Amino acid sequence: MTILRLALRNIIGTGIRAWLNAFIISIALVAAVWNQSLVSGMDEQASQASQAIEFGGGQYWQENYDPYDPLTLEDAHAVLPAALQRLVNEGKATAILVLQGSIYPHGRMRSLLLKGIDPGQRVLAFPTSSLADPGPDLPALIGGRFAKATGLARGESVTLRWREPGGAFNAQDTRVAQVMKTTVASIDNNQVWLPLARLQAMARLPGQATLVVLAPGTPPPGPLPGWTFRDIDYLLSDLRALVKAKSYGRTVFLVIFLSLGMLAIFDTQVLAIFRRRREIGTLIALGFTRGQVIRLFTLEGALHAILAVILGAIYGLPLLWLQSRAGLSVPAGTEDMGISIGEKIFPVYSAGLILGIILIAMVVTTIVSFLPTRRIARMKPTDALRGRLT
Amino acid sequence: MTGNHLIRTENLVKTYPMGLSQITALNNVSLVFGAGEFSGLVGPSGSGKTTLLNIVGSLDSPTSGSAEVLGRQVEKLSHREAAGLRNHSIGFIFQTFNLLPVYTAYENVEFPLLLLKTPAQQRKKMIMEALEWVGLADRGRSRPSQLSGGESQRIAIARAMVKRPPLLLADEPTANLDAENSHHILQTMEKLNRELGTSFLFATHDEKVIGYLRRKITLVDGRVAKDETFPSPAGKGVQP
């Protein structure tokens, strides 16, 4: 208690220098919380968007389907098992047929995926209703990125080509019914969405699909022969790996910030031990052991972290709150990097995040504060009393 | 503690390395101090006064020989035991006062009692008493930077005396004080010695201090050259 009291007095007595050190650490703390909260926000937004727009509550994949191998698509379709068909009929799932194809926008050929989906589905939150045109034209739904890449606009027609079972190529013109703006690049890049029944007819694959997306909260009907269930954790694993990879990069900045703070603490401690040699000798003469003096100096250093938490709370909490309300605008092109985060990232804070960062800062500060104090253990009290270093 | 002595040194030797050679600061010093003495180690700079004081204060240990202080063999004490001895039984007064700068005068005096975990009520009483001994009961709230040299040394005396140690060691306590303040604090210490029975051991070459001593041990080149006792203070004549 005496040591804590003395440490508090000493650090307050240090005046502006202590507050400057604490301020530097507080910047590192606030920056770390902000940085990690952006990663959390990015993860949460991207996960929510991907679930709502692409993954639903899990998917059944036809056993040959491998989204990373387009060559599997030729055989990756089958008639839905009764259990899945029932869910589709009840509106608790939607079937998607995926085929390889190509288009010829403005005379140039471009390979792509043709995806058939029920225009009336409500499982995934994207505007498939625009495919519900009963007219003779084949309506197509494309994403903004694909529209930009191909130069296609709403109402424009383009020739589609695909391969029928047996190997023959077929072609048909399609009209862009809508260009959708979506944060999920994986339903946008290099793909054209068509009415499921029309695509099944074009490809002569009646009643067949490549995957079935379950509505969120719909329990999977269990193992189905020829179909593999992919739960949401599996489907989000790539996304989470990407967010994690990005968070590593951000951690570098955190380490740099914290290192600056720690450098200031280390410097302060070394200087304090040098300047306060006589005081160290006095404390030992008054009955302090060397261990107590080391604890005192270490505690003084560690108290910088507590001051930093207080300072950080004073200016950081309002700033972080404002940021969580206003969000952070995402630079153009970020969405194309594969994370579905929209135009703004809204940081997500949690008690665990904040306490974790505070704990790390406290532990690191304590260690950095302790390191220079080892010199005290070698100090002779008689030399210290004379203001000499042993 | 054996017999009536407070401090006993036998064949005390202290050497320091100086480059490749050794400097002998104390050379076979054998002395005995009884309880309630008002003694001083005198001699020129480098004669070994402070070295002997530091060994008696368990701040240093001898190279050979033995130093028994309040029944404890200093050379055998661990760091923790030495700290305990200083904490409980020895008060220190330094040439440069050595008050803790961030504490008020009151808190400086309080510090040894906090280490001894003295209850708050008793602590307050003892602090006020100590401040009254040195005539600074009204300066408790002042910080060391607001005190004069004489006042600082008087607060240092109060800090050393507040726990009522049987032994008080003072290293050149008047070296940074003018004559008036020197006599003031020496009179204070003499009064405390008389009234509380505390033993005082000085290291000094200040004639003003020497004038108050009842026993004067002269050290020359680390040896005891002379050990004189006086029925009354040695040199009252030098007082103003």
Q: How far is B225 from chain A (nearest CA, A)?
A: 25
pTM: 0.71
Report the distance separating Cα A296 and Cα A262, nearest Å.
Answer: 18
Tell which residue, B173, B221, B192, has the closest CA to residue B13: B221
By CA distance, what is A284's nearest residue in B?
B83
User: Between B59, B80, B103, which is nearest A285 by CB?
Assistant: B59
**Cβ of A290 and B102 within 8 Å?**
no
Give the residue from B109, B111, B171 with the most A CB atoms within 10 Å of its CB, the best one to mutate: B111
Q: How far is B86 from chain A (nearest CA, A)?
A: 5
**Cβ of A12 and B100 within 8 Å?**
no
Tell which residue, B173, B191, B171, has the closest CA to residue B182: B173
Give the residue from B50, B95, B115, B176 with the most A CB atoms within 10 Å of its CB, the best one to mutate: B115
Please check the confidence at residue B240 and state whether its pLDDT lies above 70: no
pLDDT digits (tens, 9 = 90+) for B91-121: 999 988 999 988 899 999 999 999 999 999 9
**Residue A218: what pLDDT?**
93
The residue whose two tokens read 């302060």 is A268
Per CATH, the homologous superfamily of domain B5-95+165-238 is P-loop containing nucleotide triphosphate hydrolases (3.40.50.300)
To 10 degrees, the CA torsion angle through A186, A189, A193, A196? -50
pLDDT digits (tens, 9 = 90+) for A76-121: 999 999 999 999 999 999 999 999 999 999 888 999 999 999 999 9
Q: Judge whether B143 is closer than 8 Å to chain A, CB to CB.
A: no
Residue B2 confidence class, pLDDT cut points 50, 70, 90: very low
Tell which residue, B194, B88, B67, B93, has the closest CA to residue B152: B93
Q: Judge whether A6 is closer than 8 Å to chain B, CB to CB.
A: yes
The residue whose two tokens read 């072609």 is A171
Give the residue from B102, B110, B172 with the most A CB atoms within 10 Å of its CB, the best one to mutate: B102
Report the distance separating Cα B48 and Cα B65, nearest Å.
Answer: 15
Q: How far is A28 from chain B (nearest CA, A)?
A: 29
pLDDT digits (tens, 9 = 90+) for B157-178: 999 999 999 999 999 999 888 8
Q: Judge whether A286 is closer than 8 Å to chain B, CB to CB.
A: yes
CB-defined contacts A:B, below 8 A = 68
Q: Which of A241-250, A302-311, A374-383, B178-187 has the lowest mean pLDDT?
A: A241-250
Enter the ipTM: 0.89
By CA distance, what is A291's nearest residue in B?
B80
Chain B residues with CB under 8 Å of A388 CB are none
